[in-house]
Amino acid sequence: MGCCCKVTTLFLLIVAGFSLYQFYPCLFKCHDKPNFDTFKVDDWFGRVMLKANQKIPKDPVDIKSFRLNVSDADLNDLHDRLKRSRFIDHLQDTHFQYGFNSDYLRVVQQYWQNSYQWRKHEQQINSYPQFTTQIEGLNIHFFHVKPKTTAKVKTIFPILLVHGWPGSFYEYLKSIPMLTEPDSNGYAYEIILPSIPGYGYSEQPHKPGFNIPAAARIFVKLMKRLGHEKFITHGGDWGSAISLAISTIYPENVRGLHLVGNFFQPSTFGDFRRMLMAYLMPKYYFGTDDWQRQWEKTFPFCQKFKSMLLETGYMHIQATKPDTVAAGLADSPIGMAAYLLEKFSAWTHANYMELSDGGLVDKFTMDELLTNVMIYWTSGNIAASQRFYLENMQNFKFMQTLTQAQVKVPSAIIEPTHDLMRAPRKFIEHLHENLLQFTDSNVGGHFLAFEEPNIVVKDIRQFSKKLLEFEQQKRKEEEQEQQQKKHDEV
């Protein structure tokens, strides 16, 4: 790293810290313990508007079978729109640096129109049991897959799998058979895989305010309705944030927390001190043989900051005026494909923007990518999925509380090597009271469960083993405490 960049980075860190201290002194004070009970209050997001002071209606608790069946009329309309696609001219000597390569977009359009078979993938989706149930006025779509009862199954873990944007439940379909089959330890998983409200085939919220705490509350209600008072929760992207919220707001219902990636955001004096220590004395600070690899997750700061600026333009749009861009995406299937699939290029590996096809079919098949786009197109939920950014990003206080809250439930994190945002374990371990496992994966990008399902499933299984050992040790300690208490009373 050049001396100039190092001096510039140090200067930027000092200026950032001083500015935050001057303008946001509250960040440098000890936060009051957040009152998470406020997030547990029931709400109503249904189509029927409630009058002022009207009591929230009770949701029916019945669970209905769901089968996906897109009408022929909708599919014919899609093909008509694809035929009438308009394309921009592609700049010479560029690939994905300006966004989706319009020459390759023509390839996508031709495949989608002439080769892709939605009914085949619709049938695959329908091969797993799906249901809907109403919670807080919304019909929640979810998969519920139980392992077969055999002599090989010794322990069944209920697990909630939560997706993100621009993904969907489809990211986890490859994991279902891997998780429901018992391993050598006899571990199998009862899978509950919902669509976030406003995503997939869950109903979109009909009033403002649907955010991470609301999603967490609805999913806890869903798990309880299915008979699970305690469960493992797992997620990536927004699913990671929702699972984190479930674990901090409802720790009594969480057996274990498993995350792909982490939401580390430096926002306290302690965080900036850690960054300065890591920057100035990395070998001493990390104290491990791979200290240079750990250092490169966050630094050089100039380079990381530039990368984040390049890759977060979508976030600023969706966190401010989501409906404007959604109007165009809802009208043009090829526009929607370009907008969504570009993320599967840039977020899988940064070098893919140097390729004419964006590296899209290096880790995924075109059928897989288009099926995910089809879920957004056929559900009509593109606008609602983008509004989720506004509802959360404009609530700075909650996002800060969430990312800085102490996680007390047993937890595990797997960090893909090519993810957009990464942080060394030493930056985040103080936030987890019982961090049983931290996997620094040497492969994979942001959509790790979609790209490398074997790796994520293996990590979940390893965490489950450690979780059982942790619970056993806890029970042993509690028994010893009770015995000691009885002895002291005698």
Q: For the segment 335-386, what is each residue's pLDDT rounded down to a tens digit?
A: 999 999 999 999 999 999 999 999 999 999 999 999 999 999 999 999 999 9
pLDDT of 292: 65
| Residue among 164, 201, 209 nearest 395 (CA) | 209
pLDDT of 423: 78
User: Is the pLDDT assigned to residue 58 strictly greater than 70?
Assistant: yes
pLDDT of 22: 44
User: Mean pLDDT, the chain, as a whole number?
Assistant: 89
At 395, is the pLDDT very low, low, confident or very high (cuts 50, 70, 90)?
confident
Q: What's the pLDDT tens digit per position in 133-144?
A: 999 999 999 999
User: Is the pLDDT assigned to residue 29 strictly greater than 50?
Assistant: no
Q: Which residues are catalytic, by number?
A: 237, 389, 446
Segment 384-410 shows an average pLDDT of: 88
pLDDT of 309: 81
List C-alpha distances in Å: 353 to 100, 301, 342, 360, 467: 9, 21, 9, 10, 40
Domains and CATH numbers, the chain: 37-475 (3.40.50.1820)
pLDDT of 1: 47
User: Is the pLDDT assigned to residue 44 strictly greater than 60?
Assistant: yes
Among the residue ranges 91-95, 295-299, 309-313, the one predicted with the least confidence is 295-299
Place of tokens 């590296």: 359
Segment 415-430 shows an average pLDDT of: 84
pLDDT of 220: 98
Among the residue ranges 78-82, 283-287, 326-330, 455-459, the one predicted with the least confidence is 283-287
> Hey, which of 158-167, 263-272, 282-291 has the most confident mean pLDDT?
158-167
Higher-scoring residue by pLDDT: 441, 21: 441
pLDDT of 271: 60
Segment 33-61 shows an average pLDDT of: 89
Q: What's the pLDDT tens digit per position in 179-219?
A: 999 999 999 999 999 999 999 999 999 999 999 999 999 99
User: Is the pLDDT assigned to residue 13 strictly greater than 70?
Assistant: no
At 240, is the pLDDT very low, low, confident or very high (cuts 50, 70, 90)?
very high
Among the residue ranges 38-47, 50-59, 271-280, the one predicted with the least confidence is 271-280
Contacts of 446 (CB under 8 A, 6+ apart): 236, 237, 261, 343, 347, 348, 416, 418, 419, 420
pLDDT of 24: 44
Q: How far apart are CA 163 and CA 62, in angstroms?
A: 24
pLDDT of 268: 58
Segment 418-425 shows an average pLDDT of: 82
